[in-house]
Structure 1
Amino acid sequence: MFMTQLLFRLLTSATGALLLAACQSSGDAPATDEAEAAAPRAVVTVGQVRADTLRDVLRLSALSAYPAKDILRATTTGYVLGPTPVPGQAVRAGQTVFRLQTKESRVLHLDRLTGDPRLKFSGIIAIPSGRAGVLSAVDKLAGDFVQEGEQLGVVYDRSRFGFLLDVPVTQLRFVHPGQSCRILLPDGRTLPGRVAEALATADPALQTQRYTVRPTGPVPELPENLAVQVELDRTAPRRAPTLPRTAVLTDETQTQFWVMRLLNDSTAVKVPVARGPEQGDRVEIQRPRFGPQDRILLTGNYGLDDTAAVQLSK
């Protein structure tokens, strides 16, 4: 009888312990699931690899210039008469820009003696422009006394406007006369251009050779010595897969590159890539070859580990 009661008590204790453990485990499961569901997820946007036309571009600095210009000089000693021209004024070839009165004419008032038909010389000398262009500088004003040969102003020939391009000797094989190029202005505008000619001199200190570049389309009003960028294609255009620059991640030394690809709607995995050159905000992806079904993280990918939990942005 005693043995039967002892066995009954042992069975009762074991059953109670098993029931208690089952209750505890069933009570912890919802808490674990809720914790996993409440874990923070990175909000990301996704996109696909796109085929773009890429160019291997050589970008160099250049300065705007008016290589053809006329310096208007006084042909006699005298005084400048009004009206005085203003800088920026357009002039025609042969148009009178300045007028001078000789000092003898001013003393004798020859310009006022109109009644004597034998007087053929009034002492007024016209200084015309030798070419059509723009008056870029005015050095003398009405009433100024000038000596013979003194500079009065400068006329730029706008039809010969261009840019001076200094090419390093290590890049000379990529530049040749007649080559098309793109001229990037500081305000964001782009002008089509063409390499005109090479000057037969090189800078001994910088080891650069100078070329002239001419715009091939309409030219806006630009001053001289304006710094611009000139782009030349080193190779023919080619089609290549690209991704936005923000999609390609790298380490501190920029020796390893990778992208984050969606494995499913909630998990992103790390995929090493071999990247090519950049063009604008696009980066060439040389390896691996992604398909149109591959979804690549474009934003929200920074700092994510492999197999990171993510949430698609709505």
Structure 2
Amino acid sequence: MPRFLPFTLLLALAACHSGAPAANAPADGEEAAVKPRAVVTVGTVQRDTVADVLRLSALSAYPAKDVLRATTTGYLLAPVPVPGQRVAAGQTVFTLQTKESRVLHLDKLTGDPRLRFSGIIRIKAGQAGVLATVDKLAGDYVQDGEQLALSYDRARFGFVLDVPVTQLRYVRVGQPCRIHLPDGRILPGRVAEVLATADAALQTQRYTVRPTGPVPELPENLAVQIDLDRTAPRLTPTLPRAAVLSDETQTQFWVMRLLNDSTAAKVPVRVGAQQADRIEIQSPTFGPQDRILLSGNYGLDDTAAVKVERRTVEK
């Protein structure tokens, strides 16, 4: 018996130490308290006037162009116009001297009243416009029918819009639209004409759109965006764009709603029309008491711990 006593004491001491709680082990409540919480802002669903918008690309164009051509063979006399110069209908734009007149100096013979032909030909503009290109210089020798300049009519300025055939039911002649310029300006416009041809490869039909208000100085072939309303404006619940989350394919959408002051849950939603900063929420129906996360919601799991920084009241 005495030889087994030390071994028994060691077993007793080991049992006592294994059953005693560690002095520095944190309690369950303390471990939960140190978990990080996302700082978020919240708001409520608001009712705004929205419309389902069809946005398409278009190019600026001057469809009514006037080609100024030489009416005979000869030499161009100074002065010669420059690109960008405005011309009036019937205004002399180029002066042409025939090669016979230059050789015989007919333009300087003034003594004989029977000599009615001086060899000076004046080429006039057929319509008012602005010279887009000037192809010849003073002193150049030109052939009969050769192009001298190209002018365009600013009054016929517009935009060429190619509409996919799948969207033709949303576009009609006379329909109002909004023209978004690259610098952020928005011009009111209207669908003016439709061409009775379609692109066989792209399956698009061409329309022309013209501004209905003052038109700034714009070049040809400027890429713009044109908005056409698919539906009439209506009053509907909306949320800020940042409040609505989606998957990578943008086929599933959801928002994060507060269950209490420290927990947010994931709620699937069905979205409708999307504007620049607001998105229509078609379902479910949220009440004025439902608090939706507006920021800090990205990457949160379902029933995530959050900390409300402030409550944002939507106007």
Under a length normalisation based on structure 1, what TM-score does the superposition of the two structures give?
A: 0.84
Structure 2 residue 182 is matched with structure 1 residue 196:
no
Q: 1:65 to 1:285 in 2, by over 3 A?
A: same
Question: What residue number does 1:283 align with?
Answer: 279
- Asked if 1:80 corresponds to 2:88, the answer is no
Q: Where is the helix percentage greater, Structure 1 or Structure 2?
A: 1
| Residue of structure 2 equivalent to 1:241 | 237
- The structural deviation recorded for 1:30 is 8.7
- 2:159 & 2:250 partners in 1: Cα distance? 36
What does residue 185 of structure 1 align with? 181
- CA change 1:29–1:47 in 2 (3 A) is farther
Q: List alignment gaps of at least 5 residues for structure 1.
A: 1-16
- Give SS of 2:155's match: helix
Range with greater deviation from structure 2 (113-122 or 152-161) = 113-122
For 1:63 and 1:159, locate their aligned partners in 2 and report how far apart those are by CA, in whole Å: 17
**Counterpart pick for 1:151 among 129, 147, 156:** 147
Residue in 2 that maps onto 1:138: 134
Equivalent in the alignment of 1:4: none
> Are residues 1:126 and 2:114 paired?
no
User: 1:252, CA displacement in angstroms?
Assistant: 4.6
Q: Following the alignment from structure 1 to structure 2, what is the Cα–Cα distance between the partners of residues 297 and 31? A: 31
For 1:293, the aligned partner's letter is Q
Identity, % of aligned pairs? Answer: 77
After TM superposition, the score normalised by the length of structure 2 is 0.84
**Aligned length, in residue pairs:** 293
Q: What one-letter code is carried by the residue in structure 2 that aligns with 1:242? A: T
- Paired residue type of 1:296: I
AA in 1 matched with 2:307: Q
2:53–2:273 CA contact under 8 A, matched in 1: no
| Whole-angstrom distance in 2 between the partners of 1:186 and 1:40 | 44
The CA RMSD over aligned residues, in Å, is 2.5
- CA deviations 1:55-78 (Å, max 9, x no partner) are 122222222221111100111111
Work out the CA distance in 1 between the residues paired with 2:62 and 2:251.
46
Moved more, 160-169 or 112-121: 112-121
Distance in structure 1 (CA, Å) of the matches to 2:252 and 2:139: 73
The Cα offsets for residues 16-54 of structure 1, whole Å up to 9 and x where unpaired, read as: x9xxx8xx89x8899655544432111112222121222
Looking at structure 1, the residues matched to 170 and 43 of structure 2 have their Cα atoms a distance apart, in angstroms, of 36
Query: What code does the residue aligned with 2:65 have?
Result: K
Report the alpha carbon displacement of residue 152 of structure 1 after superposing the two structures with TM.
0.4
Evaluate the alpha carbon distance shift between residue 254 and residue 144 of structure 1 in structure 2; reply closer, same or farther with a 3 A threshold.
Answer: closer
